[in-house]
Amino acid sequence: MDDLRYWVAFNRTPGVGTAKIRALVDHFGNLQAAWHAGEAEWKAAGLDRRAIESLRAVRAKMDLDAEFARVSACGARLVTWSDPDYPPLLQSIPDAPPLLYMKGELTPADRQWAVSIVGTRRATAYGRQAAERLASDLARSGVTVVSGLARGIDAAAHWAALQAGGRTIGVMACGIDLVYPAEHARLAAQIAERGALLTETPIGSPPEAGNFPARNRIISGLSLAAVVVEAGEQSGALITADRALEQGREVFAVPGSIFSRTSAGANRLIQEGATLVRSAEDVLEALNLRMVAQQAEAQAVLTSDPVETAMLKAISHEPTHIDDIVRSMNLTVSQVSSVLAMMELKGLVRQVGGMNYVRAREGQAEYVVD
């Protein structure tokens, strides 16, 4: 198992981000070896002069045990790239954070069926109502609601998901030992109890301006899609939408009044091609998530078998006719139909008409027998 102290240490080293940590792990095999290496070895691993100077300075003054104890003292746990609990959707983005500080737990459903709801801090009554309705209906459908714990739309979405009995993830722009804004302390506690709080920023880090755009890529990275409820032309929610597009995720937007500044950004997203949202059903339909609750139950109760595994390999993201599947599997039509029906229930494949099947989502991992 990785020595987490070294992940914490590198996470506290200015100028050594995702790409450099990936290079160090590739070169040294682990971060412990990288931490104790010499400057010539750091250079050979690809670190530039500024990163080497920063790492040398941090190594000279950091007490690894004391820093790690601060994490334990606040009740957080650490999740790294190599941890099986690291969210796979987030891990797929190019600049995935090497280390996450977490309070609460991530369930398998959080990793598969999450949608972010974001928007302005200066939400109108209309915006709050829209966010609450969407978050509540998505949560009741088994979808995890992701947002940024900010005032306005974010808070409305988190509260609505909790009140609906669903799950929600709050992504923070400060240390996991802090809450920003402070008045959301109760909200943060409930999210940690019935979902998860996540951040990449080290213990004790204040909510500095530069942390928020970086935080937004995590919000979108955790999600199958981003829903922008209300957003002005300069809203940070538009950064989340941009990151979502860069990550290959869907972007949805709630239309607003043409006279409302807080809807100007959301309306522009729709004008530029974002999917207009009138209800949670629009999101569920577009993402093929209408049967999440049933799929979760099926995955929890029904075990897979080698036939399902082989069949998923025979189906791509391009339509595959059932006759082709029958030939490749050397099974009867009735056997293939029965397995496909079960795989549809589990959310692994879907029929797209004319007895053609595709994998349920782009980028879906191969189904592996536990």
Average pLDDT of the residues in 275-295: 84
pLDDT of res. 361: 55
Tell me the average pLDDT of the chain: 89
Q: What sign does the dihedral 238-241-247-248 (CA atoms) show?
A: negative
Rounded-to-integer distance, Cα 252 and Cα 273, Å: 9
Does 324 lie in the same domain as 280?
A: no
Does 277 lie in the same domain as 152?
A: yes
First to last CA, the chain: 21
pLDDT of res. 299: 52
With CA atoms as reference, report the closest residue to 277 among 227, 236, 232, 233. 227
With CA atoms as reference, report the closest residue to 80 among 25, 122, 119. 25
Is 296 contained in some domain? no
Does 181 lie in the same domain as 47?
A: no
Question: Both tokens of residue 173?
Answer: 């722009």
**What is the extent of the structural domain holding 62?**
1-73
Is 368 contained in some domain? no
Does 266 lie in the same domain as 313?
A: no
Number of folded domains that form the chain: 3
Is 30 contained in some domain? yes
More confident residue, 315 or 268: 268
Strand partners, 84: none
* CA contacts within 13 A on the Cβ side of 282: 16
Does 244 lie in the same domain as 106?
A: yes
Is 39 contained in some domain? yes
Does 306 lie in the same domain as 281?
A: no
Does 167 lie in the same domain as 215?
A: yes
pLDDT of res. 296: 55
Is 345 contained in some domain? yes
Does 313 lie in the same domain as 231?
A: no
Entry pTM: 0.79
* Residue pLDDT, tens place only, 210-254: 899 999 999 999 999 999 999 999 888 999 999 999 999 999 999
Does 330 lie in the same domain as 275?
A: no
* Residue pLDDT, tens place only, 293-352: 555 555 544 445 688 888 888 888 778 999 999 988 888 888 898 888 888 777 778 777
Does 307 lie in the same domain as 256?
A: no
pLDDT at 363 exceeding the cut of 80: no
Is 364 contained in some domain? no
Q: What is the CATH number of the domain that holds 322?
A: 1.10.10.10
Does 134 lie in the same domain as 266?
A: yes
Is 353 contained in some domain? yes
Q: What is the CATH number of the domain that holds 253?
A: 3.40.50.450
Tell how many helices (H) and how many strands (E) occur in the chain: 19, 12
Does 250 lie in the same domain as 306?
A: no
Is 94 contained in some domain? no
pLDDT of res. 366: 38
* Residue pLDDT, tens place only, 144-159: 999 999 999 999 999 9
